Amino acid sequence: MASSNGPRIGFLGLGTMGAPMAAHIARAGFPLTVWNRTAAKVEPLLRVGAKSGKSPAHVAAEADVVITMVSQPTDVEAVVLGPDGVLDGIKSGAVLVDMSTVSPATSRKLAGAMTTKQAEFLDAPVVGSKGPATEGTLVILAGGLPSTLERCRPVLSTMGKTIILAGGVGMGSALKLATNLMLAHLAAGFAEGLLLVQRAGLDPKRYLEVLEASTFRSPWYQTKGAGMIKREFATHFALKHMHKDLRLMGELAGEVNAALPVTQAIEALFAQSEAAGRADLDYSAILAQLEQGT
């Protein structure tokens, strides 16, 4: 357990992922101040010992390590660079750790802003959804200086058991996008296969059985795949966020001159699903889009 005079942590963004992640930091004994745009979400964190901050700037002014976990690039820029944002309050020598899934370009922009205050920056997006966030078993993909990661390791270790230094600033974000590319392909492939199985008159349980027996088996089939078969689309990872990640993969692909035609087709499927009103359902709800015929 961290002593009460250990590094002071600020945490901004208490959504599906941020709330359980911040709770781990508080339970580990780090002095923690939290802020969320919708103030009601702060309440459960106060019960595990966190303090409430008035604004991102106020939280940053009191912290040695400031963590952001919001939705997309424009949101993290609003919280960090906007009025009363982190940049206004952060102390010289402090670290901003952005754990949201954003583009490498956004990570580099945030890092540049931090240097104007002699503060450090780490991009540290996560692999794993609501379950691993609640269990503290996320995989954390870091981009930045090794020395910055070492300073942050004690607090990051409360949220994740595997921490991978991908490279310099932005590389954690790039590795995260490549990882979610695989997840989007898995979800789209499973959903199309399931549609085919059903329309061919097969029992979906046989489909799961054969995937489990295959060399490409994955625990994903038993959790998300079984949920798709039962049409359970309760949100662990919102469809709008996966769509955002697919857009960011396309942006990065353009920057580094990588052709991703299959990923582009999957992005179109997610765009249609979002336009059809499924933005806030789980990303597995793309099955419903395929069933209605895209």
By the criterion CB under 6 A, which residues form the site for ligand NAP? Answer: 13-18, 36-38, 41, 69-71, 75, 78-79, 100-101, 126, 129-130, 236-238, 241
> What is the smallest separation between the CB atom of 292 and ligand NAP, expressed in angstroms?
25
Question: 95 or 140, CB closer to ligand NAP?
Answer: 140
Distance of CA 140 to the CA centre of its chain: 10
Question: 190 or 237, CB closer to ligand NAP?
Answer: 237
> What is the smallest separation between the CB atom of 109 and ligand NAP, expressed in angstroms?
16
CA–CA dist 239, 114 (Å, integer): 31
Q: Is 91 a catalytic residue?
A: no
CA–CA dist 189, 277 (Å, integer): 22
> What is the smallest separation between the CB atom of 151 and ligand NAP, expressed in angstroms?
22
Choose among 19, 86, 79: nearest CA to 58.
86
**Sequence-distant contacts of 260-267: CB under 8 A, at least 24 apart:** 260/181, 262/185, 263/181, 263/184, 263/185, 266/184, 266/185, 266/188, 267/243
CA–CA dist 46, 41 (Å, integer): 10
Choose among 41, 34, 98: nearest CA to 71.
98
Question: 14 or 269, CB closer to ligand NAP?
Answer: 14
Question: 103 or 148, CB closer to ligand NAP?
Answer: 103
The residue annotated as part of the active site, out of 41, 117, 130, 176, is 176
CA–CA dist 86, 114 (Å, integer): 9
Q: Are 136 and 113 in contact (CB under 8 A)?
A: no
Question: 17 or 45, CB closer to ligand NAP?
Answer: 17
Question: In sequence order, what are the residues at sequence separation of 6 or more whose Cβ sits closer than 8 angstroms to the Cβ of residue 94?
Answer: 60, 63, 64, 65, 66, 119, 120
Phi-psi region of 63 (alpha: psi -120 to 50; beta: other; left: phi over 0): beta
Active site amino acids: 176
